[in-house]
């Protein structure tokens, strides 16, 4: 039975990018009209725009929209993204703006002198940047709580006062901006799940590419080994189009790969611990539908994952993050979110030997996955997140609950970042019910294949949701 007041039955979200591009081409709408719609949603006092965005660039967005409309009238269309509102996570450099990374500690830094590579590529394709989105401070949490700028919430239970649920982190504002119709697509980052977690919590689609796929120049890093840049949108095709633009390739979308004969491995260990019954039910139903559609579905156990807690006594993210933050901490530690500060300082005692051991253990596990997983399967399936969106108030009030929940929610997507995989999260819950994500993971550098399979999986799920 659907939960009362779960996900809204009507959505303020923009249509998929292909639909918007068709409307722009036919003259049914203009870039200025789309941008005004996004800005109106952001400014709505009954909404959460003031929390979702840390900076709104209304004047530049309107100017860019007018210029793109003029170009279109003259017969020039830069790409299928041209004229469409885009939000950018506060981790990326935007020329002339301070990159705060969701923190007060960077407020006094100089404005960026140039756009990050990803931002520049979106601009060149004609994406209209409406503003910078809120996030977990320094991207160092999967929950999305931010004591400095407020905490964006999911559309789930949003109409029940006092029961607001997390939008997920760290790209909390990115997902909320798309879920609430403040942008048609969002640029986020994913180091341990920061695209796929908020996509799940907000009932959206999120794509985390192989870490080395997209240049990472321009912004505030979290982990040089694991940081990935990618989109959150309303469909696989939306994410695939933006991924192509971010990669620097032709802005097209990979063809759908028929599911018949596609080998899907269902991971049965480590990622299945602590599943909420509603999550287990939705994921199981989705997998059964994929099998019925012709996919070759097989359970698989990957034993090395059970060693991850011991291997990650010091996390790779924490060690690499502390290396970047240690100079900033010397003068600004008091301005950090205390929960983020505590996690960073745990890595202070890690030695060079600890870091080398961890990197070698990771390389060995990536090699094991090559034969055990990627040579046998086209994609691996598991729940993106094992639980439904938790209540914001409870996490704010209980540090122990925050720590346990953060670890649990990060666990599954972080697993595949550790394996250098690409990952796609798709909504698999019934419409109107609590949001649940199905994660598809692919081999390193098999991004296009995963997106092609993801389009077929999405088509099946859309008929059953």
Report whether 407 contacts 293 (CB < 8 A).
no
Torsion of CA 150, 156, 157, 161, to 10 degrees: 20
Q: Among 278, 261, 247, which Cα is nearest to 387's? A: 278
Cα 240 to Cα 455: distance, rounded to the nearest angstrom:
9
Catalytic residue positions, numbered: 89, 170, 194
CA distance 216 to 229: 7
Phi, psi of 12 (to 5 degrees): -85, 0
**What is the C-alpha end-to-end distance of the chain, expressed in Å?**
13
The stretches of 346-385 forming alpha helices (DSSP H) are: 352-369
Distance CA 240, CA 233 (A): 10
Residues paired with residue 425 on neighbouring β-strands, in sequence order: 206, 439
Specify the 3-state DSSP secondary structure of 410: helix
Query: Strand pairing of 128-133 and 53-56?
Result: antiparallel
């Amino acid at each position: 039975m659907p939960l009362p007041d779960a996900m809204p039955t009507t959505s303020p979200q923009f249509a998929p990018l292909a639909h918007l591009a068709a409307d722009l081409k036919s003259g049914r709408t203009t870039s200025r009209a789309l941008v005004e719609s996004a800005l109106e949603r952001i400014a709505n006092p009954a909404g959460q725009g003031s929390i979702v965005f840390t900076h709104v660039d209304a004047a530049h967005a309107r100017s860019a929209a007018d210029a793109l409309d003029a170009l279109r009238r003259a017969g020039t269309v830069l790409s299928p993204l041209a004229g469409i509102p885009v939000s950018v996570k506060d981790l990326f450099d935007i020329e002339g703006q301070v990159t705060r990374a969701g923190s007060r500690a960077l407020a006094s830094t100089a404005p960026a002198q140039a756009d990050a590579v990803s931002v520049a590529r979106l601009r060149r394709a004609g994406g209209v940047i409406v503003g910078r989105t809120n996030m977990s401070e320094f991207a160092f949490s999967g929950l999305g709580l931010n004591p400095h700028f407020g905490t964006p919430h999911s559309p789930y239970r949003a109409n029940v006062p006092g029961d607001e649920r997390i939008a997920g982190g760290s790209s909390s504002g990115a997902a909320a901006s798309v879920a609430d119709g403040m942008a048609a697509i969002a640029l986020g980052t994913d180091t341990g799940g920061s695209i796929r977690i908020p996509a799940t919590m907000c009932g959206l689609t999120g794509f985390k590419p192989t870490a080395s796929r997209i240049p990472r120049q321009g912004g505030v890093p979290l982990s040089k080994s694991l940081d990935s840049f990618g989109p959150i949108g309303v469909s696989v095709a939306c994410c695939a189009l933006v991924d192509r633009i971010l990669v620097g390739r032709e802005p097209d979308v990979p063809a759908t790969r028929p599911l018949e004969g596609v080998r899907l491995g269902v991971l049965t260990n480590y990622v299945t611990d602590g599943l909420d019954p509603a999550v287990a039910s939705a994921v199981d139903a989705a997998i059964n539908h994929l099998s019925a559609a012709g996919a070759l579905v097989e359970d698989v156990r990957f034993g090395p994952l059970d060693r991850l807690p011991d291997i990650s006594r010091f996390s790779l993210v924490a060690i690499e993050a502390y290396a970047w933050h240690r100079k900033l901490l010397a003068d600004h530690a008091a301005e950090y979110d205390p929960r983020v500060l505590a996690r960073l300082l745990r890595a202070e005692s890690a030695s060079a030997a600890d870091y080398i051991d961890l990197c070698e253990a990771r390389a060995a596990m990536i090699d094991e996955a090559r034969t055990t997983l990627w040579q046998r399967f086209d994609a691996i399936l598991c729940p993106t997140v094992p639980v439904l969106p938790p209540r914001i108030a409870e996490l704010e009030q209980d540090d122990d609950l925050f720590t346990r929940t953060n670890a649990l929610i990060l666990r599954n997507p972080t697993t595949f970042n550790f394996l250098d995989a690409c990952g796609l999260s798709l909504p698999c819950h019934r419409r109107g019910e609590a949001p649940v994500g199905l994660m598809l993971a692919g081999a390193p550098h098999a991004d296009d294949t995963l997106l092609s399979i993801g389009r077929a999986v999405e088509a099946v799920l859309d008929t059953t949701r």
